[in-house]
Structure 1
C-alpha cells in the first residue's frame, strides 16, 4: 500500500538525518576537548598540531596517549549519540595538587521531539597535564544523576551544512576568546576529566565507572553560544573558580 511505503521512507530519511546529526555533534565534542586542553594550557602548546576544520585552524593534541584516550571516549560517545542516549558532556579541569575543580565546561544536548529522560552520567578522566602515564592515567567513570532537561522543543527548521558549520565556528571562536575572562590556570599542574551523561538504560562499558558531577564550588558561570542541527541543539556553559 503506497501510504505505508511512504511512511516507511519518511521514517528512514529521519533516522538517516538523526544519525548524521549525531555524528556531527560527536565530532564537535571531539574538537571541543582538544581545543579546551590547548586554550587552557592543560598540555604544552608544542604538543598540539593545527588542522583545518569549520573554516578555522583547530589545534589538536599530537600526544599518542592523549589521542588514544580521546578516541576511546569518542568511540563510546558515537554509539550513545546515534541512539539518542546523551544529554550532556562535561569537561572538568582539576588542580593536581589540591584536587580542587577549577573549571567546568558543560555542553547540554537536546534532541528535538524527544521527551526528557533520567540520565546516568559516564565520566572519563585522562592523563595529567604534563605527560600521559602509560595506560593514560584514565579512570573512566560514570556519575549517576538525573538530568533536568527542559521541555521538548518543536522540530527545528532545516539548516544547510554550511549554516551549521558557521554556528560551530562562531562557538569555537568564543571558546578561544574566553581566555580574556577566565582566570589563568597553573600550567602543567592540572588534570582533566570527561563526564558523559547518558540515559539510565544505556549500555555502559565495564571500564567506565560512577562519578560525582564535579561542580565548581562557589564558582562563576558564563553562558556561551550554542548551535543546532535539524535534530539536535547544543548549549554551552563554562563555570570557573575565581582566582584568590
Structure 2
C-alpha cells in the first residue's frame, strides 16, 4: 500500500499540470517585474515558494491584471491550446520594446486526447527544475541592461486556433525587438506540459558599432 500511495502522488493529471504551470507564470512574472525594477520595491512583498523567497506584487491593479491573464491561461493549458506566453517590457514614453520574456509551452497530446496513460514525475523534481529558472531570473540583473526609464508591460498569449477570443482579449502585434540579444534560460516539465524560457533584450547603444 505504501508503494501504491507513492505512485499515486507522482501521477500528473492535466488539471494538476495546468495549475503548476499557471502558478509558475504567476511567480515568474512577478519575479521578473521586481528584479527588473518595472514597479517600485514597495509594491512587492516576499513570499516563500519553491523553497525560495520570491517577490509578489501588492499593487491592486497589477494583481487584477495578472489574475485575469493567468486564469484564462490556466484554462487554455487545460484545453491543450496554449503555445506561448510572452511578457513584454516597453518604454512608457516611446513605446519601444526593451525586453521580451518568452515561455514556450509543449503539450503532451496523448494526455489531452485521453489516448495515453497519465505520466508520473516526482513533485520534488519539478520543483527543483522551477527553482533553477527562478534563480536565473533573479540573476538576470547581472547581464541585462539597466531599465532607466518608466516602463509598462503587456502579456501576449499565443494559442492554437480558437473559435473566438474572450471578450476582454484582443489581437496584438508581436512587439518584437530588432537585432535583439537573446539568452536562453532553463526549462521544466511536468510531462504533461513542458516550458522553455528565454529573454530577448535591446542591446545597449555602446555595443552596437
The normalised TM-score by structure 2 is 0.86
**1:186 match:** 148
1:162 counterpart = 2:158:
no
**2:42 match:** 46
Q: Which has the higher helix share?
A: 2
**2:5 match:** none
Distance 1:80 1:235, change over 3 A: same
1:78 to 68, 74, 88: 74
**1:118 match:** none
1:22 to 18, 22, 26: 18
Mapping of 1:113-132 within 5 angstroms?
113=109
The number of residue pairs the alignment matches comes to: 190
**1:110 match:** 106
Deviation at 1:157, TM superposition (A): 6.7
The normalised TM-score by structure 1 is 0.74
**2:138 match:** 176
Deviation at 1:113, TM superposition (A): 3.6
2:183 to 222, 226, 240: 222
Q: Deviations over 1:163-187 (max 9, x none)?
A: 1011101110011101101000025
RMSD: 1.9
Deviation at 1:84, TM superposition (A): 0.8
CA contact (8 A) 1:156 1:229 kept: no
2:166 to 196, 202, 205: 205
- Runs of at least 5 residues in structure 1 that lack an aligned partner in the other structure: 1-13, 115-154
Secondary structure of the structure 2 residue equivalent to 1:209: coil
Deviating above 6 A after TM superposition, structure 1's stretches of 4 or more consecutive aligned residues are: none
Distance 1:231 1:241, change over 3 A: same
Secondary structure of the structure 1 residue equivalent to 2:85: strand
Distance 1:162 1:203, change over 3 A: farther
CA contact (8 A) 1:89 1:106 kept: yes
